[in-house]
Structure 1
């Protein structure tokens, strides 16, 4: 089956599920192609990783990347202590173990990339005496939704802040809401490492719905902002790999194709004739079914555009990036909805006239 072909809407009907076979999403099986060769790193099969569940690797100049293979974090060893970046619960105390592998220095500073619990939900492991640096909005959100495992930041900033510890500089910058309010860029210029969490995941197409991001227009803007930095290594927060500048550009190219396909889908299926035909086909007493068919038509159109398009190097996306065949439909839906909700409308209905194109 072609990766972009729409599957029948079925679910597992084993006892204890729903006992029905016509609602929900199907489980993906062996008909999807495997992830690209080389996506799964060697450390996954090592006895050490199987035993301890984490991998730590120096990128350059005392800047270390730590991963549980699902979530990533980082730390920097300076002359006057360790600066930790994030604390995913999937790593938890393994962050301390990773740090203790390479230095006896204590953690003196912690940087929160953003407020989400899946990335800083184990920050309490660093103890009560660390300085916690974050954007002002991150502190405000944690004050509003308190969590003892995510201690409040002790130092906040508005736009830019340079954290200097033991002669090591980390440049923190907030360029506006992207994945979520308060999500920051963390640049280590001496080591040429950029950390920007939940934007891009080198080697893959990221988690569904543009990594569950809240402001898709801002999230797309962050792609070009990332490429504006000078870096050799990129830490994105997820999916087994740190990345190079070229690998980041590959992810940006993929999402440009998603935007291209979603834009074409909205233009095609939001014209009055196409919209009315789809909505009317299910009858006047099934408005939500007709609406779903309309949304699905756009998502399927965009998905097919992405998965059947020959990319910049001549290959298909599922041959280049992991997750393309399973995640693209979610990205397509999210991006086409952002086009409808966040982008300028080309027209609006005039009094006493027929609906214009792009009515909805």
Structure 2
């Protein structure tokens, strides 16, 4: 009897999931390794539920940079000459991130960077500080992140170092990018060059190996979010720490770019075939727009389903309508309808 090659099956399944996108990449799925540096297009094998229940996973990305996954969240660990810098610390996962760092190096954690002010990604900073016995560490953030903590009255440890263009950390020159703000107005992207590897830490923009969370991870500005996707593709980087799910590559970004483009194309067609005046049947304007928008969304959903639902039925059925709804109202409000 011929044996099934599990690795080939994993590769083929995800290649199938990229049908209709600009590329069908053959990703390589292997167990996470804190020792072996991930090769190009290498991802971490295992499902989301399996990953959620593990204490942590570690994948080495370069000589001094590591991807660490805690439940459904992932962070970047940078080992410097004398100590460690951590980018993000997920809520309820602070202690496990510390445990993971201790398996990587004996060097102490001396700095944490806030990527943005969403507590699910940075809410574990306080827990880490407590685990360290309230030892003083540097807390880096942009002015926008600090101001968001204050404006939203968040109970977060206050940043001690305000950053703008770069972070110089023990031999590492980390570039700071504050222009990709479709997800959140304070979202911060970090580019780390370590040897010949260029690692991007960009949270909540792309969720590799799956469709995006509802409303594209609650994107504050969907048009700017789409622009961010284009910007990511124009940047020079090799592998991305995405905040959720798996390692990310430009092939993942291209898939998302095509998905959003199709949503807007199908909505454009839906607007052309739907007449608002056909829905003026009551004295309640909200009812007009609700009925009209549902007809346009249904039209786009049918077309999107034909192209993207196969092989990802559950996540498509949960999230796809929210993706269409976000762009319908954004296109209307920005005057982008035909």
Range class of TM-score, shorter chain: 0.7 to 0.9
Indicate the residue corresponding to 1:88 in structure 2. Answer: 90
Q: 1:137 aligns with which of 136, 144, 147?
A: 144
Q: 2:73 aligns with which of 51, 71, 74?
A: 71
Indicate the residue corresponding to 2:264 in structure 1. Answer: 259
Give 1:291 shift.
Answer: 2.6
Distance in structure 2 (CA, Å) of the matches to 1:224 and 1:102: 34
Give 1:320 shift.
Answer: 7.1
Distance in structure 1 (CA, Å) of the matches to 2:262 and 2:47: 32
Alignment partner of 1:319 is 2:311: yes
Give 1:300 shift.
Answer: 1.6
- 1:59 and 1:117, CA in 2 relative to 1: closer, same or farther beyond 3 A? same
Alignment partner of 1:337 is 2:329: yes
TM-score (normalizing by structure 1): 0.73
Distance in structure 1 (CA, Å) of the matches to 2:69 and 2:99: 12
Indicate the residue corresponding to 1:298 in structure 2. Answer: 296
Distance in structure 1 (CA, Å) of the matches to 2:295 and 2:324: 11
Contact 1:36 1:321 in 2 (8 A): no
Give the RMSD, CA atoms, in angstroms. 2.8
- 1:78 and 1:207, CA in 2 relative to 1: closer, same or farther beyond 3 A? same
1:106-185 superposed matches below 5 A: 106-127=108-129, 129-148=136-155, 150-158=156-164, 161-175=165-179, 177-185=181-189
Q: 1:236 aligns with which of 232, 242, 253?
A: 242
Q: Deviations over 1:134-160 (max 9, x none)?
A: 221110111223333x212222244xx
Q: Deviations over 1:272-299 (max 9, x none)?
A: xx1111232xxx2554334322121122
Contact 1:112 1:133 in 2 (8 A): yes
Contact 2:44 2:247 in 1 (8 A): no
Distance in structure 2 (CA, Å) of the matches to 1:146 and 1:202: 32
Give 1:106 shift.
Answer: 1.5
Contact 2:94 2:124 in 1 (8 A): yes
Contact 2:94 2:128 in 1 (8 A): no
- 1:286 and 1:111, CA in 2 relative to 1: closer, same or farther beyond 3 A? same
Distance in structure 1 (CA, Å) of the matches to 2:108 and 2:313: 38
State the SS of the aligned residue for 1:72.
Answer: strand
5+ long unaligned stretches in structure 1: 1-34, 310-315, 347-357
- 1:77 and 1:321, CA in 2 relative to 1: closer, same or farther beyond 3 A? farther
Distance in structure 1 (CA, Å) of the matches to 2:140 and 2:313: 34
State the SS of the aligned residue for 2:94.
Answer: coil
- 1:229 and 1:345, CA in 2 relative to 1: closer, same or farther beyond 3 A? closer
Answer 1 or 2: which has greater helix percent: 2
Which has the higher Rg, Structure 1 or Structure 2? 1
Indicate the residue corresponding to 2:3 in structure 1. Answer: none
Alignment partner of 1:209 is 2:218: no
5+ long unaligned stretches in structure 2: 1-15, 19-28, 30-42
Number of aligned pairs?
A: 293
Give 1:68 shift.
Answer: 3.0
TM-score (normalizing by structure 2): 0.78
Contact 1:279 1:294 in 2 (8 A): no
Distance in structure 2 (CA, Å) of the matches to 1:305 and 1:74: 38
Q: Deviations over 1:37-96 (max 9, x none)?
A: 9899327687x974x532222122221112234222221111121111111114231111
Indicate the residue corresponding to 1:275 in structure 2. Answer: 276
